Amino acid sequence: MRSCRRALTGCCLLVVLATAAAAAPILIDFEEGVGHDKEEINSFYEGMTFQSVTSGNPGVYVDANSNNWHATSWPGGQRWNAGYFWINDLAGAFTTLTGDDGRIGFDNADATFVQINYCAFTEFHLEAYDAAGGLLDSDAGPANLRFINGNESGPGTLRVEAPAGEQIAYALVHDSGNQWVIDNVLTDATGIRVIPEPLSVLLLAGGFAGLATRIRRRPA
């Protein structure tokens, strides 16, 4: 009986350790970009970077409230200008007007999956790579602009996963004409956090950390 208890305890410990080792998925929804239209995304985060592969330019926020974009909010349906591009809520991400590709890099290079929402004028691609530049997985979805492509179902979803024993260091996104926006990046990469703005710092100091949280943890 004692041996069985020890074996059972050992099994439970392994389960606990395995569970603890699995990073909780993190949702980057870009809503901190409201009020920061076309500002560099990288100045708001630690642990990850967004940039254009072609130009090297950093990624920027797409703030629909700025009225500088042809956007429609999902699921609310609020429309700005021609409303072609679906975004989740009020803000998304883009890589400026040079090049048709973007790179999402993870400093710890340890993601096992990456999932994004997208809206694009042509077929859109998501590709996962390891630290040595080896392609691990890829996914693609059709053009899905509102009105132009007849899409009334909101942003599309793409997901890539690392094979067993492998880890994703970065992901590339691209179409064939640089007319796209991404949103709601979900991943289990570690070490990612939002750099607090002054107001957030004050809230944290006052004991209201929950009000200042910008990244939400979601199930995979």
Whole-structure pTM value? 0.82
Quote the pLDDT of residue 2: 45
| Fold that domain 23-217 belongs to in CATH | Jelly Rolls (2.60.120)
Amino acid identity for residue 49 in this structure: T
Quote the pLDDT of residue 23: 77
Residue 36 to residue 88: CA distance in whole angstroms: 16
List the chain residues with pLDDT less than 50: 1-2, 4-20, 199-205, 207-215
User: Nearest-CA neighbor of 73 among 167, 154, 184?
Assistant: 154
Quote the pLDDT of residue 100: 83
Phi, psi of 67 (to 5 degrees): 65, 25
Quote the pLDDT of residue 220: 55
Quote the pLDDT of residue 28: 97
Positive or negative, the CA dihedral 210, 106, 113, 36 is positive
Quote the pLDDT of residue 139: 98
Quote the pLDDT of residue 197: 55
